[in-house]
């Protein structure tokens, strides 16, 4: 009868030893998996900062060596958009003239539409814009800029509004009748 408690005691020690050492094996495996997952997360996070560049394919992009937009991480930087048609001919030039003789509101719509296209290339929308910056030449060519209706155009593209926004008066934008150029910063979640 004394044997049974001794055998039971020895069995408990053996089972406990294997269980505890087994826990150590499981714990080590869990740590190894966690380290690997952390390394993968760091690599993925770092890769998200590799700039993704977008262009419409226009001749001026190549000539001036620039992108229309660059995404890095969750931020999108939209280059200054001009009132140019993004539909291009065989020479990579705009098909339609959306600048000459066009009103400020017409040029503003084209510029904001181009910003919207750049954002869409990254799966973003105008709702993601946190900063809009416009440069206005009020005296370009025969087009004296009239800002009547400009607020309506901005509300059309930003119905929920409240992004930060700055408009600056300048002399001599790129085109002889160009009244506006605007850039933007967007943050996607």
Per-position DSSP letters for 139-180, written without gaps between them: TSTT-----TTHHHHHHHH-TT---EEEEEE-S--SSTT--E
Q: pTM (2 decimals)? A: 0.78
Listed in sequence order, the residues at least 6 apart from 66 whose beta carbon sits closer than 8 Å to its beta carbon are 55, 79
What value does the mean pLDDT take over residues 138-159?
82
Question: What pLDDT, in 10s, does the model give residues 65-91?
Answer: 999 999 999 999 999 999 999 999 999
Digit-coded pLDDT (tens) for 12-44: 565 655 555 556 678 788 888 888 888 888 888
């Amino acid at each position: 009868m004394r044997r049974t408690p001794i055998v039971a005691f020895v069995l408990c020690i053996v089972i406990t030893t294997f269980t505890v050492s087994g826990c150590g094996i499981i714990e080590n495996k869990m740590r190894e998996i966690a380290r690997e997952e952390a390394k993968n997360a760091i690599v993925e996070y770092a890769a998200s900062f590799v700039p993704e560049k977008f262009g419409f394919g226009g001749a001026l992009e190549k000539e001036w060596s620039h992108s229309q937009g660059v995404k890095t991480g969750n931020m999108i930087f939209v280059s200054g958009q001009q009132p140019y048609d993004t539909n291009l001919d065989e020479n990579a030039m705009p098909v339609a003239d959306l600048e000459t003789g066009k009103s400020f509101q017409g040029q503003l719509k084209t510029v904001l539409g181009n910003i919207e296209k750049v954002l869409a290339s990254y799966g973003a929308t105008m709702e993601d814009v946190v900063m809009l910056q416009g440069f206005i030449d009020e005296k370009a060519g025969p087009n004296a800029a009239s800002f009547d209706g400009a607020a309506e155009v901005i509300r059309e593209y930003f119905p929920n509004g409240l992004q930060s926004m700055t408009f600056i008066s300048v002399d001599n934008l790129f085109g002889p009748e160009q009244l506006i150029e605007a850039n933007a910063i967007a943050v996607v979640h």
